[in-house]
A = this chain, B = another copy of it.
Amino acid sequence: MSRPRVARLAVVGLGLLGGSVVRAARARQAAAQIVGVSRNAVTLGEARAAGLLDASATDLAEGIRDAELVVLAAPVGALPGLVREAWPHLTPGAVLTDVGSVKWEVVGTAERCPARAGVAFVGGHPMAGSEQSGFGASRADLFAGCLMLLTPTERTPEAAVGRVAAFWEALGSHVRTLGVAAHDRAVAAISHLPHLVAYALVAAAEGEALALAGRGFVDTTRVAASPEALWSDIFRVNRSVLLDALVEHRARLARWEALIRAGDWSGLEGELGRAREIREKLG
Contacting residues of chain A (180-204) with chain B, CB-CB under 8 angstroms = 182, 185-187, 189-191, 193-204
Residues of chain B lying within 8 A (CB to CB) of residue A235: 260, 268
Contacting residues of chain A (124-176) with chain B, CB-CB under 8 angstroms = 127-129, 146-147, 149, 176
Is A204 touching B248 in the complex (CB atoms < 8 A)?
yes
Residues of chain B lying within 8 A (CB to CB) of residue A202: 275-276, 278-279
Residues of A within 8 A of B (CB): 127-129, 146-147, 149, 176, 178, 182, 185-187, 189-191, 193-206, 208-210, 212-229, 231-233, 235-236, 239, 242-243, 245-250, 252-254, 256-257, 260-261, 263, 265, 268-269, 271-276, 278-283
Beyond A203-B275, A204-B245, whether A219 also contacts B216 by CB under 8 A is no
Q: Which residue of B lies closest to A266 (CB)?
A: B232
How many monomers of this chain does the complex have? 2
With A189-B209, A250-B254 known, 14 other A-B pairs at CB within 8 A are A147-B212, A147-B214, A186-B208, A187-B209, A190-B216, A194-B220, A197-B197, A202-B275, A216-B223, A219-B222, A220-B223, A224-B275, A228-B273, A250-B257
Is B249 touching A212 in the complex (CB atoms < 8 A)?
no
CA distance A154 to B13 in the complex (A): 61
CA distance A227 to B275 in the complex (A): 10
